[in-house]
Amino acid sequence: MLKSFIEKSMRIEHIGIAIQEATQAQTLFAKLMGVESYKSEEVVEQGVCTIFYALDNTKIELLQSLAPGSPIDKFIQKRGEGIHHIAFAVDDIRAEILRLKAQGFQFINEEPQRGADQKWICFLHPKSTHGVLVELCQDIK
């Protein structure tokens, strides 16, 4: 299994962090990482405003809810601010969905959706990943 993971050159694309208030969080993370955010984007379909920071080999994505009842709003109401998900970059999201379903993983959405940063995204259910929300993402070509 580990060999397969390495051969596919899957990598952590970003770590998503749920936040309540963007201005304070942007200031804090800019100080922490020593870099300013390079991009902010609203993804209305997902009910979220995203703020990205680039690091040497990955990104940090801050996620602020756009509306009450959005997935990020529900997450913060239930768990508070903090790590929301780990995203893995894949070359072929549909093939990965099929591969992981065959391995017994459950999905929140099996059909890729348009996400932030020009990506197709889908999420594995935390019940099948030891409580971790896992996102698969593929560049939109």
Identify the pLDDT of residue 134.
97
All structural domains of the chain, each given as residue ranges with its CATH number in brackets, are 12-139 (3.10.180.10)
Identify the pLDDT of residue 10.
80
Percent of the chain with pLDDT over 90: 88
What span, in angstroms and rounded, lies between the C-alpha atoms of 99 and 121? 16
What span, in angstroms and rounded, lies between the C-alpha atoms of 92 and 139? 9
Cβ contacts of 125 within 8 Å, gap of 6 or more: 105, 106, 107, 108
H/E run at residue 49: strand 48-54
Q: pLDDT tens-digit profile of 32-91?
A: 999 999 999 999 988 999 999 999 889 999 999 999 999 999 999 999 999 999 999 999
Identify the pLDDT of residue 9.
63
Q: Answer yes or no: is pLDDT of 4 > 90.
A: no
